[in-house]
Structure 1
Amino acid sequence: MSEKSSEEQLLEFLYACPVGLLECDLAGEIAMMNPHAMQHLLPLAGPRDASNLFAAFEQHAPELRSLVAAYKPALGKICDGHRIFVDLGSGRRKQAPQVLACTMVKLGIDRLMVTLSDISQQVVQEERLRQADTWFATLLDGVNEYAALSITPDGHIASANPCFTRQTGHDYVAVIGHKLSDVLHSDTSGGDLRLEEQVEIAQRDGWHLQEGWQQRRDGERYWCQRLVVARADSASASPSGYSVVLRDVPRREAAAEDMRRLLTCDHLTGASNRRHFSEAMEREQAHWRELRHSLALVVLDLDHFKAVNDTYGHPIGDMLLCHVAQACAALLPPRGIFARLGGEEFGALLPRFDLDQALNLAEEMRAAVAELSIDTTMGKLSATASLGCATLGEADGSIDALIALADRRLYAAKRSGRNQVHQPQACAA
């Protein structure tokens, strides 16, 4: 047999490579990919075009198109290890999310080389390390300056150390026997849990840590790290009480905000990303199961958005998405979360909202979108949106059923003429 040509050897290498490799143009049209890339793309694409990189990732990483469009040099690395958090549906919801690392390199005026690798286990390990680091830093950093208390199962203070007085201004002896929640006043307007809710999570998980604004006796606010740990009782399945640690810590605003934005925000619009939204839904679902607070979901889809991109171009389409996100996010209550779920679809998670409240807010969003006007070289661009609402109670506590119900109502709004909020009481869901 004759020796293999260099082209054949190259093809063998590409197909045997343990990471996904593909080549495409700047519009995302794939010219070549190896089996590993195909293995990643096909499940994600679903009914969408698997031969186009951006279409395949539209629901999971719509920012890829924007990253390529924003990269102006003729050659170079567009992104390196960009993380894509993948949700493949209900069959995987209770497992750790699949995470792909995407690297894109511009090789020519209309040529991209892309690698895809599964880093799910690495991300799980990183999360565990972050939790461990936070745990030990809380207990050991500044060990002489933390307020330590023990509380009974019903939240009454059983003991406190002198640092509790120095930190809060409350006499650590006089507070014994009082409810800790009556002594400590926290600012929960930003979505932080109340002490009672934090205790319930500690009862379930063993511990819970959060940072937020706390108030001293004289009314001064300070940034406080609050750790609640359940104390085990071998004779009972329920905790015998809880240990509470309070630390007055610097807020580290710039670094913390940069990291928060990187992990939770959509690259294009600044709204929450799909991963953060999914995590918030699961967290609120746990609260719903334990506390039975109402929880509503609003889904919003821009009408005829493909025509906007086709007529005005993707940069104008991106501008419209940003305006929609800003207009709708401004209407949310303090604990609400507004996210870009993919393409032109957005979602609003509304803790402690019932269906009527969600419908009212959805109508405000619809009106806000209809009022938008963007100046373009082809004249003014306006838009409309269709919306659907549902509550977790209607879905019997299932996130999948909640999303499916809200989606059905969204598409009912589209079938009824678009630019409207579907009213569930008007016809059966």
Structure 2
Amino acid sequence: MSDRSSEEELLEFLYACPVGLIECDAAGEIGMINPHAMQHLLPLAGASGASNLFSALQQHAPELRSVVSAFTAPIGRICDGHRIFVDLGVGRRTSAPKVLTCTIVKLGPDRLMATLTDVSQQIVQEQRLRQADTWFATLLDGVHDYATLEITPDGKIASANACFTRQTGFNHLEVTGQDLAKVLRTEETGGDLRLEEQFEIAGSDGWHLQEGWQQRAGGEPYWCQRLVVARSTGDGTMPTGFSVVLRDVPRREEAGADLQRLLTRDPLTGSANRRHFSQSMEQEQTRWREFRQSLSLIVLDLDHFKVVNDTHGHPIGDLLLCSVATACAGLLPPRGIFARLGGEEFGVILPRYDREQALDLAEEMRKAIAALVVQSPGGIVKATASFGCATLDEAEGSIDDLLALADTRLYAAKRDGRNRVHQVEGRAA
């Protein structure tokens, strides 16, 4: 039997409880308060201190005192989830204000128990869902050439418009009640997010937009822009359904150069630039945290590239860089990103590729580079490259550690003789 007293056990519970707990009398004088409640009250109380619940919340929730006074029953719940909007950064706020909910229960004639909970993130989520719902309804007012579907929370098609038939070939009346994933046959190779993952992101952020290959009823592939919007009818944070808009669009790379391309592409090779590479890594890191799917990185560096520039001139060196970029980009999976990181160094982001797949692709790229032939006035120019591969799992989710690990393996490949992919322990060369 435990020799600990009930008082000790109660104190341990109050200290560990993740919700702010306060015991006070009918006038608000606090008799007991746990650490979480103290963290909420102290910043609000100011000079008045946190000895009285109503005084501490006077500036932000002055109505609480009268709400308690008006409750005449001997015991019972006085208020439940009463929202207290707190703005601690007036005039300099850079984020959403803090929001607390307060629940007060009357335990006896002069005894109250109150809880304080921070629901700031929940409020932000509710606002996102309402904004997405309003925005989507406004968008559809003038839409006639977009296929639209209403989807139930369990992923079934509740309704579809006539444009869905024209775009996909599926009868918009006959698909009602079917699973959306079975009707929208998408191409998922190379790491494209599955439909259920797109819905999960939409449920969290309010909406999600993605482009990719999709099949019509007859099996013909087409490039489709898919917008998933979470719908909400109440104040809850969980969506009550989804709306999906499908648009048949030309491939982005076939639409011509635009501002986006200028901002994301290396002007010499046409590969992604370092800025776009960094932004993409951060986006994929977020998806890795949410879905824990494989994410691999390849870094490669051309061997003795300075000799090419010094012997044949920079124009030939530039031509060789462009040839390398073209050869490697042609081996990428659909969501892979090939980027020029600087000089003769390149990086490859591979969503949903594990270590073995990344090593295999790196070997294909190595062979493709070694097979290149560039003609110059001084003769034939050839090149080789050294490779290092790493996964975000190995780096425990850190982008900096991922880059450092891949670089370490790249330079190990150079030390071992160049023109090779560094083989990590546990894999045969």
- The two structures have a TM-score, normalised by structure 2, of 0.60
Query: CA 1:323 to 1:164, structure 2 compared with 1: closer, same or farther past 3 Å?
Result: closer
TM alignment of 1:387-398, pairs within 5 A? 387-398=387-398
Q: What residue in structure 2 maps to residue 372 of structure 1?
A: 372
Q: Is 1:362 matched up with 2:362?
A: yes
TM alignment of 1:16-31, pairs within 5 A? none
Q: Is 1:208 matched up with 2:208?
A: yes
AA in 1 matched with 2:401: A
Deviation of 1:165 after TM superposition, in Å, equals 4.0
Work out the CA distance in 1 between the residues paired with 2:137 and 2:243.
17
Instruction: Check conservation: 2:148, 2:243, Cα contact below 8 A.
Output: yes
Work out the CA distance in 2 between the residues paired with 1:415 and 1:190.
32
Unpaired runs of 5+ residues, structure 1, are: 1-131
Q: Is 1:151 matched up with 2:132?
A: no
Q: Is 1:293 matched up with 2:269?
A: no
The DSSP-based 3-state class of the residue aligned with 2:368 is helix
The DSSP-based 3-state class of the residue aligned with 2:238 is strand
Alignment deviations for residues 90-128 of structure 1 (CA, whole Å, 9 cap, x no partner): xxxxxxxxxxxxxxxxxxxxxxxxxxxxxxxxxxxxxxx
Q: What residue in structure 2 maps to residue 50 of structure 1?
A: none
Work out the CA distance in 2 between the residues paired with 1:374 and 1:251.
30
The DSSP-based 3-state class of the residue aligned with 2:149 is strand
Q: Is 1:246 matched up with 2:261?
A: no
Runs of 4+, deviation exceeding 6 Å: 135-138, 250-253
Q: What residue in structure 1 maps to residue 126 of structure 2?
A: none
The DSSP-based 3-state class of the residue aligned with 1:185 is coil
Q: What residue in structure 2 maps to residue 420 of structure 1?
A: 420
Work out the CA distance in 2 between the residues paired with 1:259 and 1:192.
24
Work out the CA distance in 2 between the residues paired with 1:357 and 1:246.
32
Query: CA 1:154 to 1:423, structure 2 compared with 1: closer, same or farther past 3 Å?
Result: same
Query: CA 1:356 to 1:274, structure 2 compared with 1: closer, same or farther past 3 Å?
Result: same
Deviation of 1:173 after TM superposition, in Å, equals 4.1
TM alignment of 1:82-161, pairs within 5 A? 139=139, 142-161=142-161
The answer to which of 351-360 and 186-195 deviates more is 186-195
Tell me the number of residue pairs that the alignment of Structure 1 and Structure 2 aligns.
Answer: 294
TM alignment of 1:13-412, pairs within 5 A? 139=139, 142-188=142-188, 192-232=192-232, 234=234, 236-248=236-248, 255-256=255-256, 258-259=258-259, 261-412=261-412
Instruction: Check conservation: 2:274, 2:340, Cα contact below 8 A.
Output: yes
**CA RMSD after TM alignment:** 3.1
Deviation of 1:193 after TM superposition, in Å, equals 3.6
Work out the CA distance in 2 between the residues paired with 1:192 and 1:396.
22
Q: What residue in structure 2 maps to residue 37 of structure 1?
A: none
Unpaired runs of 5+ residues, structure 2, are: 1-131
Alignment deviations for residues 7-44 of structure 1 (CA, whole Å, 9 cap, x no partner): xxxxxxxxxxxxxxxxxxxxxxxxxxxxxxxxxxxxxx
- The two structures have a TM-score, normalised by structure 1, of 0.60
Query: CA 1:320 to 1:248, structure 2 compared with 1: closer, same or farther past 3 Å?
Result: closer
Alignment deviations for residues 328-349 of structure 1 (CA, whole Å, 9 cap, x no partner): 2222233322111111101112
Work out the CA distance in 2 between the residues paired with 1:212 and 1:190.
11
Deviation of 1:389 after TM superposition, in Å, equals 0.3
Work out the CA distance in 2 between the residues paired with 1:256 and 1:193.
26
The DSSP-based 3-state class of the residue aligned with 2:425 is helix
The percentage of counterpart residues that share the same residue type is: 69
Instruction: Check conservation: 2:191, 2:335, Cα contact below 8 A.
Output: yes
Q: What residue in structure 1 maps to residue 94 of structure 2?
A: none
Work out the CA distance in 1 between the residues paired with 2:328 and 2:139.
41
Alignment deviations for residues 70-107 of structure 1 (CA, whole Å, 9 cap, x no partner): xxxxxxxxxxxxxxxxxxxxxxxxxxxxxxxxxxxxxx
Work out the CA distance in 2 between the residues paired with 1:382 and 1:248.
42
The DSSP-based 3-state class of the residue aligned with 2:271 is coil
AA in 1 matched with 2:334: P
Query: CA 1:190 to 1:292, structure 2 compared with 1: closer, same or farther past 3 Å?
Result: closer
Query: CA 1:223 to 1:345, structure 2 compared with 1: closer, same or farther past 3 Å?
Result: closer
Work out the CA distance in 1 between the residues paired with 2:200 and 2:177.
20
Work out the CA distance in 2 between the residues paired with 1:400 and 1:188.
28
The DSSP-based 3-state class of the residue aligned with 2:338 is strand
